[in-house]
Amino acid sequence: MLCSKYLSVSFLLLSLSLHAVNCADPLYHFCFSQENFTANSPYGTNLNGLLNLLSTKVPSTGFGLSSTRQGQDQANGLALCRGDVSKTNCKTCVVDAGKELGDRCPYKKGAIIWYDNCLLKYSNIDFFGEIDGKNKFYMWNVQDVENPTSFNPKVKDLLSRLSNKAYANPKFYATGDLKLDSSSKLYGLAQCTRDLSGLDCKKCLDTAISELPNCCDGKRGGRVVGGSCNIRYELYPFVDA
C-alpha cells in the first residue's frame, strides 16, 4: 500500500502538524469523552470484552458493532475496515487500534482512532445509527496541482459519483477513477460505517465532499475523515484491486 507525506489538520482543534504517515501508524485519534473509568471497574471489564468481541466479529465482513452489558456500565463500539483490506489485515488493524487507544486515551469512556486500514470507536453512550459530525479531521498532500481551476471540479465530480455508488452498495463502499488526460488518472474512495441508513450515508459523504475546499483546494491528494464516513482522492492508485 502506498503512503505519501501529508499535512494533517484536526477539524475540532484546528491544530496543524506536518508529518510522514507510515501505513501502520494511526492517522489520528480523539479521546472525546470527559468521563473516566478505573482499571478494574465494571466499565473497564465491559470495554475489554467489547474490544475482544470486535476483533473476532469484524474481519469476516469488514464491519461490526456490539454492546456489552446494559445500564451505566454499558460499552458500545464499532469497527470498520477499508473495503479492500484482507480479513487478516483487518483483524490486525482492529486489534492494534484497541491497544493504541488504551495507550493514547487511558481510562476514557469514549474514544476513536483511525488507520489507513480501519477505524475503531467506543463509548458508554449508544451512538449507533447517528452521523458522527464531531470527530473529524482533514489530510492533504503538500503538493499543489498545476491547474486547480480545472482540477477541483473533477475531484468533486468523481467523489460525488462515488457517493451515489457507495450509499447504494450494501457495504457502503465505492472506489473509482476518472481520466484526466492521456497519461494521468484521478482515483477516489467513499465509505460509510454500516450502522447508518443509506440516506444518512449519502448525507455524510456529501457533507464531507462539501468540506473539501476547507482543506484540499488544488491539492494533489486529500481526505475528509470522520467517525461515520470518509472520502479520499489521489493521483495514484491507493486501494488493492
Output the pLDDT for position 69.
Answer: 82
Asked if residue 110 lies in contact with residue 125, where contact means CB atoms within 8 angstroms, the answer is: yes
Give bridge partners of residue 67 from the DSSP assignment: 76
CA distance 190 to 192: 7
Give the type of residue at 202. K
Show the cell assigned to 63. 464491519
pTM score, whole prediction: 0.90
Output the pLDDT for position 2.
Answer: 41
CA distance 9 to 90: 25
CA distance 205 to 208: 5
CA angle 60, 63, 65 (to 5 degrees): 115
- Which 8-state DSSP code applies to residue 213? H
Asked if residue 1 lies in contact with residue 23, where contact means CB atoms within 8 angstroms, the answer is: yes
Residue 168: CA atoms inside 13 Å, Cβ hemisphere, count?
7
Mean pLDDT by 10 residues, the chain (241 residues): 41 33 79 95 96 97 94 94 98 98 98 98 97 98 97 98 98 98 96 98 98 97 98 97 72
Output the pLDDT for position 179.
Answer: 97
Residue 237: CA atoms inside 13 Å, Cβ hemisphere, count?
5
